[in-house]
Amino acid sequence: MSVYVRIENGEVKDCWDSPPDDRPGWKNAIEVRPAITPHRQHYIGHTFDITKDPVEIVYNVVDISVDARKAAMKENALFKFQAVLMEQARNPSAYDPAALQVAKDAVAPEQAAIDACTTHDQLDDLI
């Protein structure tokens, strides 16, 4: 996909997938996304390198802490139960208390397994 930036007074003023108007200063740009380690890093924000042609939109990478990853995984475990609960609530005539109990009983052991992890490798083993 093509990306364009409009530079004015040495600063990026606009960024679009096509130049939307005839104002001067539009330049071709490319997105530069460094490789990331899945589940351990993610992109956060970006900067523009206007000294390059095409202009580079460089994405920053941040490490995900083990604790932040654990919190997200625990939330996801709870969400699985909540999804079953919501499905049961949507269709009361097909209410299945056994399915709801199975989903509920699965949350605590899954969250305990997540809590026991101290490294990304251990968390990876749970996936």
Q: Kindly report the number of other CB atoms within 10 A of residue 99's CB atom.
A: 14
Mean pLDDT of 16-28: 87
Residue 51 contacts by C-beta under 8 Å, 6 or more apart in sequence? none
Q: Kindly report the number of other CB atoms within 10 A of residue 55's CB atom.
A: 20
The tokens describing 19, both together, are 């130049």
pLDDT value at residue 95:
84
pLDDT value at residue 93:
84
- Domain ranges within the chain, ordered by starting residue: 3-63, 66-126
25 DSSP assignment: T
Mean pLDDT of 86-115: 89
